[in-house]
Amino acid sequence: MLKIGDFSKLSRVSIRMLRHYDDIGLLKPAEIDEFTGYRYYQEEQLFAMGRITALKDMGFALADIVKILDIYDDKERLDVFLAERQKELMESYRQTEYKLMLLESARKRLRKEQVMNFDVTVKTIPERYAATVQMVIPRYEDEGMLWNMLGECRPPLIPAVPCFASAQFLDMEYKEKNVEVMISMNVKGTYQDTEHVKFKTLPAVKVASCIMKGGYEQMNDVTATVISWIKANGYTVSGPMFNIYHVSPAQTQNPDEYVTEVCFPVE
Please give the pLDDT value at position 250: 87
Count the helices and strands in the chain (H runs, E runs): 7, 11
Task: Give me the percent of the chain exceeding a pLDDT of 90.
Answer: 65
Residue-wise pLDDT for 124-155, tens only, equals: 999 999 999 999 999 988 999 999 999 898 88
Please give the pLDDT value at position 131: 95
Please give the pLDDT value at position 116: 56
Confidence of residue 174 (pLDDT cuts 50, 70, 90): confident
Please give the pLDDT value at position 172: 85
Q: How far apart are CA 238 and CA 194, in angstroms?
A: 30
Instruction: Determine if the pTM surpasses 0.85.
Output: no
- The rounded mean pLDDT for the chain is 90
Cα distance between the two ends of the chain: 83
Other CB atoms closer than 10 Å to residue 182's CB: what's the count? Answer: 19
Query: What residue ranges in the chain does DSSP mark as E strands?
Result: 2-3, 31-32, 39-41, 120-125, 128-137, 166-169, 179-186, 198-202, 205-213, 242-247, 259-265
